[in-house]
C-alpha cells in the first residue's frame, strides 16, 4: 500500500499537481515564518495598506484605466489576503489565480513596473522601512511571469 501511494504521489508531481493547494494564487511559496507579515502590521496593517494602494492605483494616469470595471472592495480584500499569505500570515487567498486574473488584460512590463511604483508610494506613506518593503517586493516579483503577457 505504501509503495502504491508513493507511486501515485510521484506521478501527481510528474503531471504538475501541487502537493499543497496554492494558497497564494500563484507559483509563489509562502514564507515559512510570519516576521514579514507582522512587520506589515498583520491583517489590519495589510488591509489599510491595500485600501490606500488601490485608491492610488485607480487614479494613476499610467494604469488607472485597467481598473475601470473592477469591484474595488473585492480587489482590496483579495490583495490583502494574498499579501498576508505570501508574507507568512495565517490567511488563505481565495481569489482567482494570477494567470487567470490577468491573462486577457495585455499587461506589459511598464504596466507592471508602474504598479510596483504605486505600491512603493503606499508603503512609504505608511512608514514601512525600505528593507521591509523590499522583502515584500521580493515575494511578489516572481508573479510577473504569470501577469505580464505582452
Ligand atoms: C505583483 C503584481 C500584482 C499582483 C500581486 C496582483 C494581484 C491581483 C489580485 C490578488 C487580484 C484579484 C483577483 C480576484 O479578484 O480574484 C488582481 C486583480 C486585478 N489586477 Fe492584478 N496584480 C498585480 C499586477 C497587476 C498589474 C500590473 C495590472 C495592470 C496594470 C493589474 C490589474 C488587475 C486588474 C484590472 C484586476 C481586477 C480584475 C477584475 O476586475 O476582475 N494587476 N490582481
pLDDT per position as a tens digit, 119-140: 999 999 999 999 999 999 999 9
pTM score: 0.90
Rounded to the nearest integer, the mean pLDDT of the chain is: 92
**Residues with Cβ < 8 Å from 63, sequence gap 6 or more?**
57, 111, 114, 115, 118
The candidate with the shortest Cα–Cα distance to 84, out of 31, 22, 124, 128, is 31
How do residues 78-102 score in pLDDT, each as one tens digit? Answer: 999 999 999 999 999 999 999 999 9
| 1-5, 12-16, 93-97: least confident range | 12-16
Per-residue pLDDT band for 12 (boundaries 50, 70, 90) equals: low
Distance, CA of 60 to CA of 90 (rounded, Å): 31
Go through 74-90 and write b for each residue having 16 or more CB atoms within 10 A of its CB, e for each that does not.
Answer: ebbbbbbbbbbbbbbbe
pLDDT of 19: 43
CA 101 to ligand 1 centroid distance, Å: 6
More confident residue, 2 or 119: 119
Quote the pLDDT of residue 10.
59
From 22, 75, 81, the mutation candidate for ligand 1 (largest count of ligand atoms within 8 A of CB) is: 75
Amino acid at each position: 500500500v505504501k509503495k502504491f501511494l508513493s507511486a501515485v504521489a510521484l506521478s501527481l508531481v510528474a503531471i504538475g499537481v501541487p502537493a499543497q493547494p496554492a494558497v497564494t494564487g500563484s507559483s509563489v511559496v509562502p514564507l515559512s515564518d510570519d516576521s514579514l507579515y507582522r512587520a506589515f502590521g498583520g491583517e489590519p496593517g495589510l488591509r489599510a495598506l491595500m485600501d490606500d494602494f488601490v485608491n492610488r492605483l485607480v487614479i494613476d494616469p499610467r494604469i488607472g484605466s485597467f481598473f475601470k470595471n473592477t469591484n474595488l472592495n473585492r480587489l482590496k480584500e483579495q490583495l490583502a489576503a494574498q499579501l498576508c499569505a505570501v508574507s507568512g500570515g495565517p490567511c488563505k487567498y481565495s481569489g482567482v489565480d494570477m494567470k487567470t486574473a490577468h491573462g486577457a488584460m495585455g499587461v506589459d512590463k511598464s504596466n507592471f513596473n508602474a504598479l510596483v511604483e504605486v505600491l512603493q508610494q503606499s508603503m512609504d506613506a505608511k512608514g514601512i522601512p525600505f528593507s521591509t518593503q523590499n522583502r515584500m517586493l521580493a515575494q511578489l516579483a516572481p508573479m510577473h511571469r504569470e501577469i505580464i503577457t505582452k
